[in-house]
Amino acid sequence: MGLTINQIRDNTTRARHLMQRSRQQGFAVGAFNVDNQDTMIAVARAAQALNSPVLVEITADEVKAMGIDNVRDMVDNYKAEYGIEIYINLDHSPTVEDAKRGIDAGFEFIHIDISTANHDASDEEIISATKEIVEYAKFTGALVESEPHYFGGGSNVFTENFDYEEIKKTFSTPEGAKAFVDATGIDTFAAAVGNLHGKYPVPKELDLELLQRIRDVLTCQISLHGGSDTPLHFFTDAAKMGISKVNINSDLRYAYRTGLEKTLADNPDQFAVVKIMEPVRQAIQAVVEEKIKSLGSEGKAVL
C-alpha cells in the first residue's frame, strides 16, 4: 500500500534530521544494497540488534527485479516488524525519469547519476539533470545526491588489481566539489577520494586529507560510494570528519553468494531452498553489523 504525501514528507524530514545528527555526533549511516528479500531481512536484523539507523538502496537492476513500489512496501513492513529506523535510497539512478519515479514512490534519498548510463555525459548535461531532480524533489523533501562525473569500478568481485595512479586522476577536488554543489543545489555530494566500486585483490586506500579539505568547503552532506573491501578504520575516521553516508554493496553480494554456495553444498538433497537460507542471512547480517560498528552508528537510531 502506498504512503500518503504527509507520510512521505514525515519520512523525509526524519531522514534530514538523521543526516544532521550524523554530522553533529560524528557517525555515518550505512547504505546497504539489497538484491532480494533475504538481504533486506539481514539488514533489518542488524539494525535492530545494534539499534542503528540504516539505509537500504536499490539500483536500476534491483528495481527491475523487485519493483520500485514493492521495495517501498517491504521496507515499511520490516520497519514496523523490527521497530527500526530505516530509509530507502535510489542508487545511481541513470535517468531523470527513473529518479522521478523514486521520488514519486516515496524514497527518502535519491541519487541521480546520468553518467552511469553515459560515461561521456557533459558537465552541462549532468548539472541540468541534477538541477531538475533537485527541483522535483522539493515536493516530497527527498534528499538528492549526485557527483560531477562517472564513478569508476563496478559492484562485483574482480581478480585484477586497479591502477591507483589512474584512479587518482578521477579524485574529487575541493574547488570542483564546491562548484558542483553551488551549481546544482544538491543535499549530498558523492566524493571520490580512493573509494571505488567493487572488491579487489588489495584493499582500498582513502585519501583522508583530501576528504577533509572537501569537507571544509562544503556545507552539504558528503557520501562515500564503493565502501566494500575497505579497511574499517577509514570508515571510522571519515565519520568523525563529518561524512554522513557510506554505500556498501559488493561485500553483501559476496557474503550472499558464498553463503548460498555453502548452504547448497551442505544440503544437496534439499530442494526447498527457503528452508536452508538462515545461514545465508546470518552471514550477510554479520557483514552489516561489522560496517555499522565501524561507522559509529550503533545506538544512534531515533524511533
Query: Rounded to an integer, what distance in angstroms lies between the CA atom of residue 271 and that of residue 184?
Result: 52
Nearest to 204 by CA among 222, 231, 178: 231
Catalytic positions: 91
- Evaluate whether 295 touches 287 at the Cβ level (below 8 Å): no
Query: Rounded to an integer, what distance in angstroms lies between the CA atom of residue 217 and that of residue 119?
Result: 27
User: What pLDDT shows up at residue 153?
Assistant: 62
User: What pLDDT shows up at residue 116?
Assistant: 84
User: What pLDDT shows up at residue 168?
Assistant: 81
Instruction: Give the chain's radius of gyration (CA, Å).
Output: 18
Q: Cα 47 vs. chain centroid, distance in angstroms?
A: 15
Whole-structure pTM value: 0.94
User: What pLDDT shows up at residue 261?
Assistant: 97
Q: How many CB atoms lie within 10 A of CB 210?
A: 18
User: What pLDDT shows up at residue 156?
Assistant: 65
Per the listing, cell 514528507 goes with 9
User: What pLDDT shows up at residue 47?
Assistant: 98
Nearest to 190 by CA among 199, 200, 181: 181
- Alpha helix (H) ranges present in 161-249? 164-168, 174-184, 208-217, 232-241
Q: How many CB atoms lie within 10 A of CB 250?
A: 22
Return per-residue pLDDT of the chain as tens, 303 residues: 689 999 999 999 999 999 999 999 999 999 999 999 999 999 999 999 999 999 999 999 999 999 999 999 999 999 999 999 999 999 999 999 999 999 999 999 999 999 888 888 999 999 999 999 999 999 999 999 999 987 666 666 776 776 777 778 889 999 999 999 999 999 999 999 988 777 777 778 899 999 999 999 999 999 999 888 899 999 999 999 999 999 999 999 999 999 999 999 999 999 999 999 999 999 999 999 999 999 999 999 999
The amino acid present at 7, given as its one-letter code, is Q
User: What pLDDT shows up at residue 110?
Assistant: 98
18's CB contacts (< 8 A; 6+ apart) are 29, 53, 85, 87, 302
